[in-house]
Amino acid sequence: MKLRDEMVAGAVGGLAGGMLMTAFMTGASKAGMIDETLPHKVEQYIEEQLDQQAQTGPTQEKMLAQSGHLVYSTLLGAGYGALRATFDWSPLPSGPLCGVYLYGLNLMGVGPALGITRGPWNEQRPTVMRRMMMHAAFGAMTALVSEQVRQRMSEQTEGEPARHHLEHRAGQPVR
């Protein structure tokens, strides 16, 4: 596959992984496990750096933060697709490992350096483990979905129309 196609497949996977993390964060927030999500902290950091205060309410701020997180997840997925094209990794374990690597890069490096996060060394062990597992799940979802997209794209570029694929899966012709 072309690098562009690998990146598109990765981007779709990254979006799916970001949606999974959004669901995790929403559930954890409702369960009282987290007070403030990382996307919200990033959104606040950007406002501070731009010396702008949001002219929105809490619901709009939350939507803006989650939208930014999904864009970031999509871009990270595209990066995973580029790496996947270069190294021809298997989705498992490469996806979860990439997710944990991103956790380390963002929450142990970039986040504390910019003052967005406190760093895992200042957090309780259950918090660190939850975040690490969420990022591993993000990576797994990104890798698995991007692999499915890759396979579909490969089938179509090899001359097998999507219609034939649907007929084969359902066991009967598509009308």
pTM for the full predicted model: 0.80
pLDDT band at 75 (very low <50, low <70, confident <90, very high): very high
Domain spans of the chain? Answer: 3-170
> Closest by alpha carbon to 14, among 104, 133, 86, 95?
95
User: pLDDT per residue over 121-164, tens digit each?
Assistant: 888 898 889 989 999 999 999 999 999 999 999 988 776 555 55
Please name the residues in contact with 20: beta carbons below 8 A apart, sequence gap of 6 or more: 137, 138, 141
Q: pLDDT at residue 91 above 60? A: yes
Q: Are 149 and 6 in contact (CB under 8 A)?
A: no
User: pLDDT per residue over 99-130, tens digit each?
Assistant: 999 999 988 888 888 888 888 888 889 888 99
